[in-house]
Structure 1
Amino acid sequence: MSTLLTINVKNLGSSSTSMYFFQKPAIYKGGPIVYTNSLFHELIGSFEETSSILTFKINMQFYAGIQQANTSPKVGECSGYSTASRKIDLKPAKGDAKDFTTAQVDPLGLAVPTKGSGVEPGAFRIKTPIYSPPNRYNVGSAVSANGGIVLSNFVEAYPNTYTDCLPILKFYVQTGTYTPGTVMDFDQSSVDAAECDFTGGHSIIDVTRKNNGTWDTEIIA
Structure 2
Amino acid sequence: MATKITINVTNNSPNSQNFFFFQQPAVYSGGPKVYTNSLYSQEVLPYSTSGSVLSFTMILQYYAGVQQQVEPPQIGQPSGQLGAIQAIDLTPASGGTPTKNTTNMTVDPSLGLSPAFTTQDPQSGSFRINTPVYDPALMNYSAGSAVQSLTGAITLSNFVTAQPNTHLDCQPIIKFYVQTGDYTAGTVMNFTSSSATAALCDATPGFTTFNVSYNSNGTWTVKNMVMAQLANGSRGLLEKSSFTTELNAAAQIAEVLNEAGTAVVSTGQAANFLRPITVTNLTAPGAIIRNRDYQVGPVGGRYQGLTCTDITGNTAVFD
TM-score range relative to shorter protein: over 0.9
Give the structure 2 partner of residue 2 of structure 1: 2
Give the structure 2 partner of residue 99 of structure 1: 101
> For 1:136-147, what aligned pairs fall within 5 Å after superposition?
136-147=140-151
SS at match of 1:190: helix
Q: Does 1:210 align with 2:239?
A: no
> For 1:38-49, what aligned pairs fall within 5 Å after superposition?
38-49=38-49
Whichever residue aligns with residue 124 of structure 1, its letter is F
% identical aligned pairs: 46
Give the structure 2 partner of residue 193 of structure 1: 198
> For 1:27-46, what aligned pairs fall within 5 Å after superposition?
27-30=27-30, 32-46=32-46
Contact kept, 8 Å, 1:40 with 1:145, in 2: the verdict is no
Per chain length, whose mean CA-contact separation is higher, i.e. which structure has more relative contact order (CA < 8 Å, sep 6+)?
Answer: 1
Distance in 2, Cα, partners of 1:67 & 1:126: 13
Structure 1: runs of 5 or more not aligned: none
Deviation (angstroms), 1:82: 4.1
> For 1:52-71, what aligned pairs fall within 5 Å after superposition?
52-71=52-71
Whichever residue aligns with residue 213 of structure 1, its letter is G
Pairwise CA RMSD:
1.1
SS at match of 1:189: helix
SS at match of 1:72: coil
Give the structure 1 partner of residue 154 of structure 2: 149
Normalization by structure 2: what TM-score? Answer: 0.68
Q: Which has the larger radius of gyration?
A: 2
Contact kept, 8 Å, 1:6 with 1:58, in 2: the verdict is yes
Normalization by structure 1: what TM-score? Answer: 0.97
SS at match of 1:187: helix
Deviation (angstroms), 1:42: 0.3
Structure 2: runs of 5 or more not aligned: 227-319
SS at match of 1:36: strand
Deviation (angstroms), 1:107: 1.5
Paired residues in the alignment total 221
Equivalent residue for 1:179, pick from 177, 181, 184: 184
Contact kept, 8 Å, 1:66 with 1:109, in 2: the verdict is yes
Moved over 2 A (4+): none
Deviation (angstroms), 1:98: 0.1
